Structure 1
Amino acid sequence: MAPLMLFVVSMAQFIDIMNGSSMTVALVDISKALGFDSYSTQWIISAYVVTFGGFLLLSGRIGDMYGHRKVFLLGQIWFGLWSLVISFSTTPAMFCITRALQGIGASMSVPTALGLITTTFPAGPKRTRALSVFGGFGAAGAVVGLLLAGAFISSVGWEWIFRFSSIFSFLLFVVGYVAIPVIPAKAVTQKIDVAGAMTATSSMICIIYYISTGSASGWASVQTLPVLIAGLVLLAAFFWIETRLVKNPIMPFRIWRLRNFSSAFVAILFLQGQFQGFTYFTTLIFQNVMGYTSMQTALAFLAHSLFAVVTFTILGKVLPKYRLKPFILTGFGFRCVAALMFAFVQKSTSYWTLPFLGLLVHVIGLGTSVLPAQITALKDAQNEDQGVVGALYSTGMQLGAPLGLVIVTLISENSVDVKMGETPVEEVMKSYRNGLFGVVALGVLGAVITAFMMPNTVPAPPAAASAPTTAPVENSTDVATVATVGAAAAVVDLELDEALAEAAEKMEMV
């Protein structure tokens, strides 16, 4: 059932990312249909991002303690239910509240999906191929979301974006209930770190809120600055609680001592910031410079989506054989080249020259950077920490995306004062070009930091994939037991070899 389980968790990732990316195209239509004003329009996206990023750590740790299967399936039901409710929204308040509740469901699914993969597939080629499939579905979802949004908006309406997500979430729950194996409950159930959970979730919500709304409301306004201060105070309280008060912290600090994880976390901040900035400006270039409609923009990204599936499939077979750090650095370079290619697009530029080739180059950069970074992040963590490691990695993605977008949009907006409908297209493109230069700068800085921080570790030996697999290890005691049994087996093999050699000598003498 492992292949079917992998398909279920990968489709969950696909639906989640597809749902989020579709908002890029649907933003204007939803805003007009429900009566959002210019200030509140940002909450179409921010309401989801705030709760998704805020609850990731809590959901990941609960999955580690009480079972990834339970939390994943609950997340599918929750996500599907609120996706359906969103589609019937009639006011901005109803849309934002239900969108925030939908984000909680996604926070249950993503880290536990990674936990299910890493505890099912042994470290080495099998896990790398599984993560490449998972990453490929995510990359495809990011672009298919744009395509489906354009199709739905031009035909049956934006509501069907959420109804489509709801239908698939319920189907994934049914298939996942059968495909995901039931692991026996632990003999001793640990108590959850309530104080750590509350302070971690609250601080992440406040910080992500500030990053998501600061550019629109003002970084030092009364709507944002007090929230940031509260978030930093709660974050300090969280660190104090985790290090001084509790024996079973919601975020074990030992995982930050893993160089592979900590360096991959920093890398993904820059990689996700690059991705968000690239997607944002390429969408604007297609619509505001080249004059594409929403549907034409979605079709323009179709090559990106299809090529992503091919690229991630190939990388799944290639990556297990080589060190991952050179791939990540190469990926940064490809994505910088893709941004530069779009920076020189003009109104008269043909799609099949710079835009088409730029999207293909970006896919290569996406595959050779994000997928190896994800594998590196999960590489050294123990099984009982896989959920929280996956959650922190996803949190890094949620922090990196708005941070990167804020940086590149500030560069773009401060260079040219763009007033849509009034500013000439050439000046509009100049603003977007400067933003894309900011995307390149993020990539260069990220590559330099990754080069210094990330260890250039050797790939996992193929023997790890071919060795007999046991039930997923649930805690450190199980790890010690497995290690002891393995050592005893090695001793027995050695003694048996010596005995056979001695018997051979005696037979030869006879």
Structure 2
Amino acid sequence: MTTIPDPHVPVEVEVNEEANEPAQKSPQSNVESNSPSEEENELHYPVDHLSTPRQILFIRTLCTAMFTNQIGLGNTLATVGPIGESFGISNPGQLSWLIAGYSLTIGTFILIGGRLGDEFGNKKLFVIGTAWYALWSLIAGLAVYSTQVLFVFARVLQGVGPALTLPNALAILGRSYSPGPRKNMSFAWFGASAPFGAIIGFFFGGLFVLAWWPWIYWSQGIALAIIAVFAAWAIPPLPVSRQQGKQLRERLEDLDVLGGLTGVTALVLVNLAWNQAVVVGWQEVYIYLCLILGFLFGVVFFLIEVYWAKSPIIPFASFNSDVAFVFACTAAGWACFGIWIFYIGQVALNIDGNTPIQMSAWFAPGIPVGLISALAVGKLLGKVPAPWIMVIGQVAYLAGSILASIRPPHSTYWTYFFFSVLIITVGMDTSFPAATIIFSDAVPRHHQGMGASVVLTVVNYSISISLGFAGTIERYINNGGHTEADRLHGYRGAIWFSVGLAGLGLILSLVFVFNSKKQRG
């Protein structure tokens, strides 16, 4: 029987990102076929048919999103003290803003970055995001001629770059490979880029600070500009699902502008309250006001996404209990990691007297361990249930943070610190690939940017806001931090909080395993 298409229904077209030549789908193209043609496979999964060297180049280009994101964290984490001194900053709360502001922007705007990529093209947003990151890296270096206000502002706007590149890189991977081992391994390589970026950031941050710290950011900006140009060639054209004759109002509905504005406002206000309270204290009225308004905007965002938005940024209605558990476990684990890496570094730098270059060497074992664990996850997914992989990650977070919390000051590197780095890296590089693949498989192909955005929002926002929680603990138990003993007490209090977060994540992951077995049985 032949089906006559309704002339009043808009016809879906595939638009190439590189060429505005729509190819109208015939009605017959929607008929299922047991043997799809090679042309259809190439259209849907364009990288499957590329040569192996070309695929390697493609994956490495996209991995620069995670790599450069972690460089932006590591190069400042290792040098936050000397940079603060150049601006006359010594307050620990103000120094933490140099880290938290960057992660805040990433975690806040990733949702918007993923949606823009779904609507206008993931490749286009990846290139734009890399160029933006390059620009504000250069401005961060130029802030040496101004004040800390420009530097913090530049750091905050630096985060918009990864907020665009990270979700769109993952979306490109999700749309370029058909489900299977190659797709899993591409996500695993993406996750494995994190420890590489962090260690390289530590090393070059420590190296350039010996000469002049602005070169930390100028060198980063030059490298990012080169990557942006190269990515425009290395990433193949991808189809963008659109509809003919779409009006501006329909486009705005697809972007979910109202949901995006309320969601971003909620995230910014809550994070601002917690991190600024570390600087000025909770006695300030505007801190409570920001927190209350943040929660109110969060409620409005949830209501918009569930009951009003035609194309919600986060389709809560389609989430099941498995997604909720992965969401919670990822948040607890990465919050633990954010506190761990900041405060174990503060102990080594400010108590033990290490240099930033020494810190890069101390964290270096995370590179091979992170690579092995991430690739192992890529191989194991599909063979080992994902809930058990999440349990392994949470156990690693818990064990690694406990070692950091009980480490005596000035102790030998090859005891507590060494094993803490090895173990907690396993947590980082097992939880991220597992969560990413679960979310990627749970959402439709044309919403891969949204799925990637949710995971990355959880990761980066958890890091940022957890530093606010930990900083508050440090502030109120370190007796002003006037002596080394007081500072160490504050640092350890913050690290013990990360232990609690890891314990919560482990409990949630075990409940996840129990529920999964119950559903299967």
TM-score range, shorter chain: 0.7 to 0.9
What is the match of residue 369 of structure 1? 431
Indicate how the Cα distance of structure 1 residues 195 and 173 shifts in structure 2: closer, same or farther if over 3 A, else same.
same
The separation in 2 between residues aligned to 1:368 and 1:232, in whole angstroms, is 31
What is the match of residue 346 of structure 1? 408
Choose 284-293 or 170-179, whichever is displaced more: 284-293
Q: Deviations over 1:69-127 (max 9, x none)?
A: 11111111111111112211122222222222222222111111111111112223222
Per-residue deviation, 1:246? 3.6
Q: Amino acid of the residue matched to residue 440 of structure 1?
A: V
TM-score normalised per structure 1:
0.82
What is the match of residue 51 of structure 1? 105
Q: Amino acid of the residue matched to residue 354 of structure 1?
A: Y
What is the match of residue 133 of structure 2? 79
* Partners of 1:53 and 1:205 within 8 A in 2: no
Q: Amino acid of the residue matched to residue 267 of structure 1?
A: C
Structure with higher Rg: it is: 1
Corresponding residue SS for 2:414: coil
* Partners of 1:61 and 1:387 within 8 A in 2: yes
Q: Amino acid of the residue matched to residue 212 of structure 1?
A: N
Per-residue deviation, 1:268? 1.1
* Partners of 1:196 and 1:242 within 8 A in 2: yes
* Partners of 2:127 and 2:231 within 8 A in 1: yes
Please list every run of 5 or more consecutive structure 2 residues that lacks an aligned counterpart in the other structure: 1-53
Q: How many residues align?
A: 453
Per-residue deviation, 1:132? 0.7
Corresponding residue SS for 1:371: helix
Match of 1:4 among 57, 63, 67: 57
Corresponding residue SS for 1:291: coil
Corresponding residue SS for 2:354: coil
Corresponding residue SS for 1:181: coil
What is the match of residue 174 of structure 1? 229
* Partners of 1:260 and 1:376 within 8 A in 2: no
* Partners of 1:196 and 1:250 within 8 A in 2: yes
The separation in 1 between residues aligned to 2:272 and 2:378, in whole angstroms, is 36
Per-residue deviation, 1:309? 2.5
What is the match of residue 511 of structure 2? 452
Indicate how the Cα distance of structure 1 residues 42 and 337 shifts in structure 2: closer, same or farther if over 3 A, else same.
closer
What is the match of residue 149 of structure 2? 93
TM-score normalised per structure 2:
0.80
Note if 1:238 corresponds to 2:289. no
Corresponding residue SS for 2:273: helix
Note if 1:382 corresponds to 2:438. no
The separation in 2 between residues aligned to 1:95 and 1:253, in whole angstroms, is 37
* Partners of 1:131 and 1:375 within 8 A in 2: yes
* Partners of 1:80 and 1:170 within 8 A in 2: yes
Q: Amino acid of the residue matched to residue 229 of structure 2?
A: V
Q: Deviations over 1:272-315 (max 9, x none)?
A: 11101211222123223433222222221122234323332343
Indicate how the Cα distance of structure 1 residues 254 and 73 shifts in structure 2: closer, same or farther if over 3 A, else same.
farther
Per-residue deviation, 1:9? 1.4
Percentage of identical aligned residues: 23
Note if 1:27 corresponds to 2:71. no
Indicate how the Cα distance of structure 1 residues 23 and 341 shifts in structure 2: closer, same or farther if over 3 A, else same.
same
What is the match of residue 201 of structure 1? 264
The separation in 1 between residues aligned to 2:239 and 2:430, in whole angstroms, is 37
The separation in 2 between residues aligned to 1:234 and 1:412, in whole angstroms, is 29
Q: Amino acid of the residue matched to residue 226 of structure 1?
A: L
Per-residue deviation, 1:45? 2.8
Q: Amino acid of the residue matched to residue 129 of structure 1?
A: M
Q: Amino acid of the residue matched to residue 261 of structure 2?
A: M
Q: Deviations over 1:358-406 (max 9, x none)?
A: 2222222333333323322323111122211211221112332234334
Note if 1:105 corresponds to 2:167. no
Q: Deviations over 1:440-497 (max 9, x none)?
A: 221111111122246648xxxxxxxxxxxxxxxxxxxxxxxxxxxxxxxxxxxxxxxx
Match of 2:238 among 172, 183, 187: 183
Per-residue deviation, 1:266? 0.9
Match of 2:171 among 115, 124, 143: 115
Note if 1:356 corresponds to 2:414. no
What is the match of residue 462 of structure 1? none
Q: Amino acid of the residue matched to residue 132 of structure 2?
A: W
What is the match of residue 498 of structure 1? none
* Partners of 1:278 and 1:436 within 8 A in 2: yes
Within a 5 Å distance, the mapping from 1:422-441 to structure 2 comes to: 422-424=483-485, 428-441=487-500
The separation in 1 between residues aligned to 2:467 and 2:445, in whole angstroms, is 34
The separation in 2 between residues aligned to 1:197 and 1:342, in whole angstroms, is 38
Note if 1:159 corresponds to 2:214. yes
The separation in 2 between residues aligned to 1:428 and 1:406, in whole angstroms, is 17
Per-residue deviation, 1:18? 1.1
* Partners of 1:242 and 1:251 within 8 A in 2: yes
Indicate how the Cα distance of structure 1 residues 92 and 324 shifts in structure 2: closer, same or farther if over 3 A, else same.
same
Please list every run of 5 or more consecutive structure 1 residues that lacks an aligned counterpart in the other structure: 458-510
Corresponding residue SS for 1:321: coil
* Partners of 2:141 and 2:215 within 8 A in 1: yes
The separation in 2 between residues aligned to 1:202 and 1:153, in whole angstroms, is 35
* Partners of 1:261 and 1:378 within 8 A in 2: no
Within a 5 Å distance, the mapping from 1:137-156 to structure 2 comes to: 137-154=193-210, 156=211
Give the alignment's Cα RMSD to 1 decimal: 2.5
Match of 1:392 among 434, 454, 460: 454
Per-residue deviation, 1:227? 1.9
Indicate how the Cα distance of structure 1 residues 170 and 434 shifts in structure 2: closer, same or farther if over 3 A, else same.
same
What is the match of residue 36 of structure 2? none
